[in-house]
Amino acid sequence: MTLEILTADSLSPLRHGFFTRRGGASSGIFAGLNCGAGSSDQAEIVAINRARVAEALEVRPEDLVTVHQTHSTEVAVLDAAPAAQLAADAIVTTTPGLAVAVLTADCQPVLLADAEAGVVAAVHAGWRGTLDGILEATLEAMESRGGRRAETTAVIGPTISQRAYEVGPEFLDAFLAEDPDYARFFAGGQGDRMLFDLPAFGLHRLRAAGVGAAEWTRHCTYSDPDRFFSYRRSRHDGQADYGRLISAVRL
């Protein structure tokens, strides 16, 4: 099966993609394009999957760069593939031929580019990282390399949608403590549960930070098991592990 790659016209002509799970070599609960080396999938199979992604992006496998993601606000600014994997939740580069990528399974993958200035970034933006400022930190790092916010395009890829993202009152409290206006990103659920709109929150933070354009591809990871891995769905299904989707951009 060939790879399925979701793209955004607003990021053209840069080579980029939000890769679905279709077209990979993994099997079982990881069936498809599992690119998560941190999963319990076979390492050699994950390497095959990542090589297929690199080929689609027209880079060498060693130039498809990911980081050890920790739900932080750390941004790695790279001129070349690092000798060892770095701990960060975003990668910025100005180096042609270096594909920067993040792994997700419900969290937001965000690809950013100021194509004219020659600066791109990939961000892993879960609720904690988004609330703490990973998107703003990434824009600051892009500016340090000549990027301009007003000329930057940001695209949020497949992520968990509001109808599938049930949270408790303590989750809501964390947002209201930051800004009472954040209540608008929550809808009522059953009992004391709430439904959180992660992509809407991500778009709000991007636009408030001054990006020139921001959009979401409108794909829900939880609701489409044939195309996407989902951490939350794997928990609900009682699975021992889950695959990771990859999203990448390059100059």
Look at the block and give the residue holding tokens 């933070």. 205
Task: Please give the domain boundaries of the chain with CATH numbers for all domains.
Answer: 5-161+197-250 (3.60.140.10)
Q: For residue 189, name the pLDDT band (cuts at 50, 70, 90).
A: confident
State pLDDT tens for residues 134-183. 999 999 999 999 999 999 999 999 999 999 999 999 999 999 999 999 99
pLDDT tens profile 196-241: 999 999 999 999 999 999 999 999 999 999 999 999 999 999 999 9
**Closest of 113, 80, 50, 76 to residue 249, by C-alpha:** 113
0.75 surpassed by pTM: yes
Is 129 exposed, middle or buried, given 0-12, 13-18 or 19+ CB atoms closer than 10 A? buried
pLDDT tens-digit map of 3-53 = 999 999 999 999 999 999 999 999 999 999 999 999 999 999 999 999 999
